[in-house]
Structure 1
Amino acid sequence: MATTSAAGTGAAPAPDTRNAGGVGFRSDRGPVLLAVMLSTGLVALDSTIIATAVPSIVRDLGGFSQFPWLFSIYLLTQAVTVPIYGKFADSLGRKPVMFFGIALFLIGSILCGAAWSMPALIVARAVQGIGAGAVQPMSMTIVGDLYTVEERARVQGYLASVWGIAAVIGPTLGGVFSEYVSWRWIFFINLPLGAVAVWMIARRFAERVTRTRHRVDYAGVALLTGGFSLIILGLLEGGVAWGWASTQSLVIFAVGVVLLVAFVFVERRAAEPVLPLWVFSRRVLAGSSLNALVIGALTIGLSSYLPTYSEGVLGTSALVAGFALAANTVGWPLAASQAGRLYLRIGFRDTALIGTVFVVGGTVLAALLGENTLVWGAAGAAFVMGVGLGLSASPTLVAAQSVVGWDRRGVVTGANMFSRSLGSAVGAAVFGAIANATLADRFAHPPAGIADRLPRSVDASSLVLGGHTRSQQPAVAEYVRRSLYDATHHVFLALVVLAVLGVGALLLMPRRSEQLTFE
């Protein structure tokens, strides 16, 4: 049975279990690695299933203009809780934090499956996100505890396989449930997987913990959550519920910025800040966090709107759209499994920079998708982008973990996961604003021939997503389809811009690995 320590401040960690019988499943640490992979699979499967089922959810519950909230609220609550879990993990241990996160995630999954309206589903997703905030960072932190930098090059292959399996199973189940059963089962399927993960961790992972007293930075949590919630609210509802230049928008954005500025001042004085500002004070840590921010936004942009493009514009089924998106999550783990070997030879930053070449290429291919492109074109763009993300994400995270000691590794890992979740949350809001604004403009200025037959609402796009075009007049259905193409095309163009900007984040990191020292 593998053992690690969770010593608190000033306490010495337990004997190191690294290099204990190799890296594979038959080693002393093998059962723990398998348990971590199962826990990671809990989040991996959910992320691939929900993206495919969004059109079916919109068809059932309505509210196309609100569907970005399904991603934003989940990712926001995940983001703001990640640093808290990281702090607790460094003082209470990894195991209890992981158990709490899985339990809350499963409760949220039950609530999601029972949701009766889009607002109810959004609230349930918030609960689910609070639980997910513990699962992924704790998995990565445990791996950082058990394995050396060299060993993690091999372990990345095992962890990457989880996303590869989820890439195949997730979209397939999402498409099957959406078409033949019910989208609600995409949430209920989490229950048996979560039960197995808890059982494995309880039996196989043991840690000796020196418990320490801690103070929760409630003020920091409130300011961080409130600030980003208002900004996301303004982005998603601006131009839809109220005008961009209206009093509501100006007040919401202004108050959001004020709360975030106040958060910075509070964190400087907090005894145990929820997000210590020192994690952004070194080039390695700052570059890693900024890269995670960009990766999060790119991932959510593609996973949110590629299925919408495939189903709404190309007219594919949910199952086929799921396979198109799966190409991204297949390319990601394949590249991540090789990234470990590569960064040991040429360094963390150069490996990630190679990845950005693929990322930019993939986003350009997505932007070139036309109204009548074969679905294989969409899958190809997703695969290329996935390869780039796989080569960029792993090296930068390992680099950040490598420059700190055990007692700070949980905070650093949590900060990196926070940045990725925040990027996804804000990215979902920004891309949602772009899509909603495009659709609102198209529906407000339709051709004269169909002006009196076209619903004056962004949610008119459900005519396409819901598969009801046969009951509509061809001219109306075609205009809705073209409007939806314009919306997704504008999102893909934004992905290109974001991918190019992401190169600058990586240039903050030192080029040579021997420069990665933390003072």
Structure 2
Amino acid sequence: MRQKGLGLIILALMLGMLLASLDQTIVSTALPTIVSDLGGLEQLSWVVTGYMLASTVSTPLWGKLGDQYGRKRLFIAAIIIFLLGSALCGLSRNMGELIGFRSIQGLGGGGLMVLAQAIVGDVVSARERGRYQGFFGAVFAVSSIVGPLLGGLFVDHLSWHWVFYVNLPLGAIALGVIAAALPGDDTRTSHRIDYAGVVLLGGATSCLVLITTWGGTTYPWASPVIAGLALGAAALVAAWVAVERRAAEPVLPLGLFRVRAFAMSSAVGFVVGFAMFGALTYLPLFLQVVHGVSPTLSGVYLLPMMAGMLTLSIVSGLVISKTGRYRFLPIAGTAVATVGLFLLSGLSERSSLLTMGGYLLVLGVGLGMTMQVLVIVVQNAVDFKDLGVATSGATFFRSIGGSFGVATLGAVFTGTLNGDLREVLARARLPAGFDPSRIQRDPTVIQRLPPALAGQFLHVYADAIATVFRVAAPVMFGAFALSWFIPQTRLRETTKAADLGEGLGATSAERSSLEEVERGLMRLADADLRRGYYERLGALAGLSGVAPQGVWVLARLNGQGWVGAAELAECAKVSRAHGRPHVDRLVDEGLVERSGDGERLRLTPKGDRAALGLVRCSREGLSRLVADWGPDPQLARLVDRIAPELLGAYADRPR
């Protein structure tokens, strides 16, 4: 594929993923304004939960349907569903409509994130894949930081509707580029798709989230509705377990839960998602209602938390790569996050914004030390055959934890707020003609009340949000206790290469076990290519007298026949005059010959043998990197396939 066309495709894929990942966080700073316009404060949590549940539960289907029916057409379908949901969200007239349309948006968003990463593997060669994977990891990081800020900007300068409308022009660009430039994929992988498992798991999860949302607030805990949801959840879980035992390709193999590292990491990840999305959802409400800051500034005040998460995620990955030790990080991270939540539980209407920023930084540091590591722990613990599904499973539990966190903490917030408001309203002297229910429908009216009266209501809101963190802190302490049960084992080589996107992304790419190993292997090889690789490779292949530049030329000419000298110089991004001395040396050594006009080059029989030696040494080096997964024919074929591809990578040529 021509580089220009490839660049357009990659940009379109990144744009699609950016839109889907942004919509996990962009609404947080817009929620207070949405509530003041549409009402339904008690349903606020479902604006976030609806999106997350739909995207998480649909993820396995998108990945396998893309393999089976072609990723291009499925990606186009995902964009269309996402754009339809976005348009309908912007047109919502009440909170019920918004929640339903957010679920449609989440269904498409899950497909965008899963299929975008899968398509990269179709259009990019193995030797360049690591570089592009890094770009997609950066998309997750950027969206986590700028999402709340962008949401505030749209609310302040346009309206909350533009939090959703902004997706339409950008998504249309991605749709047009993908439809026009992405070639069709004729390869198909047949799957036994576990439709029943997906539906049953999604149904059980939805019932449990509804219980945590409605129990004790909308309905009494002993009400028939809550009891019916509990019975329904139990029945659906039992049916799901029965189905998964017989499924050819279960959405989540039950045997994984017998692996202690997977079980403990999933539990800790659940709580991490619980805390992170709970904080992101309710802190903007605290800032905008209690402190009266603008939506944009409420996004700015969340930056310490997001910066702490991003920085420590990167640092944690580097520490693990250097030391091979990972167990201490989730223990320390959950301890720090517990402290951060405990500090936030002391917030009041008199707390300074600087103090709150410091508390959020502590929480972000703790979450960052934990999130990146949990994926590595799981990947390092399971057998090769379970690697792909275990990786997506770890991400699944963090995302489901986020859904439960927003719903549960939302119920805590609503219950506390309603009780405290009743007490204040019973003794407060309200202005004539003032409707007390307006305070629940639109909390911004508090700012327009007389100062003494407004202070009472601000205290109620501050206390309700502080209670959210008082509940979240002991839950995080439970994760701290569980993290001590995560075992430390020798770190596999390819596991060291887990990237930032896996740590921050709320949706897994649903890769197969082989694709997971290839991803790590290519990242390791890419780093190796930049550290004197050709010099070492030449020495191993018995070409110690050949300069690294000459080794690159031999590798590039391998299996190519006649190659134009100008084309070779262009690939190396050097002038022909710069490369000529190295080619002259190869010609003198009898490894390369020139055509009669001097415009083309090819390997001699001696050069062919030398190039094959380079491939053999490359294959042996790659084999050592995957040896700790144990012998497997798939891994052997993987090494045989990518060893020649890695050599002569123009992006990593020796200077």
Q: How much has 1:226 moved relative to structure 2? A: 2.2
| Residue matched to 1:190 | 167
Q: How much has 1:209 moved relative to structure 2? A: 6.8
Q: How much has 1:484 moved relative to structure 2? A: 1.2
When structure 1 is superposed on structure 2, of 398-407 and 276-285 the one drifting more is 398-407
| Residue matched to 2:279 | 302
Are 2:326 and 2:488, in contact at CA under 8 Å, matched by a contact in 1?
yes
| Residue matched to 2:407 | 429
- CA 1:451–1:278 in structure 2 vs 1: closer, same or farther (change >3 Å)? farther
| Residue matched to 2:367 | 389
Select which of 345, 352, 357 maps to 2:330: 352
| Residue matched to 1:461 | 440
| Residue matched to 1:19 | none
Q: Which runs of structure 2 are paired with 1:153-172 in the superposition (5 Å)?
A: 158-159=135-136, 161-167=138-144, 169-172=146-149
| Residue matched to 1:135 | 112
Q: How much has 1:104 moved relative to structure 2? A: 2.2
Q: Which runs of structure 2 are paired with 1:74-153 in the superposition (5 Å)?
A: 74-88=51-65, 97-138=74-115
Which amino acid in the other structure matches residue 411 of structure 1?
V
- CA 1:162–1:358 in structure 2 vs 1: closer, same or farther (change >3 Å)? farther
Which amino acid in the other structure matches residue 255 of structure 1?
G
| Residue matched to 1:240 | 217
Q: How much has 1:407 moved relative to structure 2? A: 7.3
| Residue matched to 2:252 | 275
Q: 1:258-279: CA deviations, max 9, x gaps?
A: 2222211221122333333234
The answer on 1:328 being equivalent to 2:305 is: yes
- 2:346 and 2:133 map into 1 onto residues whose CA distance is 32
Are 2:71 and 2:185, in contact at CA under 8 Å, matched by a contact in 1?
no
Select which of 379, 389, 392 maps to 2:357: 379
Say how many residue pairs are matched. Answer: 490
Are 2:78 and 2:111, in contact at CA under 8 Å, matched by a contact in 1?
yes
- 1:44 and 1:483 map into 2 onto residues whose CA distance is 33
| Residue matched to 1:221 | 198
- 1:76 and 1:68 map into 2 onto residues whose CA distance is 12
Which amino acid in the other structure matches residue 460 of structure 1?
I
Q: 1:244-267: CA deviations, max 9, x gaps?
A: 222322222222222222211221
| Residue matched to 2:459 | 482
The answer on 1:254 being equivalent to 2:228 is: no
- 2:14 and 2:50 map into 1 onto residues whose CA distance is 25
Are 1:83 and 1:411, in contact at CA under 8 Å, matched by a contact in 2?
no
- CA 1:284–1:166 in structure 2 vs 1: closer, same or farther (change >3 Å)? same
Are 1:43 and 1:136, in contact at CA under 8 Å, matched by a contact in 2?
yes
Q: How much has 1:122 moved relative to structure 2? A: 0.5
Q: How much has 1:446 moved relative to structure 2? A: 3.2
Q: TM-score, normalised to structure 2's length?
A: 0.66
Q: How much has 1:233 moved relative to structure 2? A: 1.9
Select which of 317, 320, 323 maps to 1:343: 320
- 1:32 and 1:510 map into 2 onto residues whose CA distance is 42
The RMSD of aligned alpha carbons is: 3.6
Q: TM-score, normalised to structure 1's length?
A: 0.82
- CA 1:198–1:409 in structure 2 vs 1: closer, same or farther (change >3 Å)? farther
Report the structure number with the largest CA radius of gyration.
2
Q: How much has 1:159 moved relative to structure 2? A: 4.9
Q: How much has 1:176 moved relative to structure 2? A: 2.3
Which amino acid in the other structure matches residue 503 of structure 1?
F
Q: How much has 1:431 moved relative to structure 2? A: 0.5
- CA 1:494–1:345 in structure 2 vs 1: closer, same or farther (change >3 Å)? farther
The answer on 1:497 being equivalent to 2:474 is: yes
- 1:393 and 1:177 map into 2 onto residues whose CA distance is 29
Q: How much has 1:374 moved relative to structure 2? A: 1.7
Q: 1:100-124: CA deviations, max 9, x gaps?
A: 4343222211111111111110100
Q: How much has 1:474 moved relative to structure 2? A: 4.2
Question: Gapped runs of 5+ residues in structure 1?
Answer: 3-25
- CA 1:284–1:190 in structure 2 vs 1: closer, same or farther (change >3 Å)? farther
Structure 2 SS opposite 1:67: helix
Q: How much has 1:68 moved relative to structure 2? A: 0.8
Q: How much has 1:503 moved relative to structure 2? A: 2.3
- 1:474 and 1:128 map into 2 onto residues whose CA distance is 41
Q: How much has 1:402 moved relative to structure 2? A: 5.4
Q: How much has 1:203 moved relative to structure 2? A: 8.3
Which amino acid in the other structure matches residue 361 of structure 1?
V
- CA 1:144–1:119 in structure 2 vs 1: closer, same or farther (change >3 Å)? same
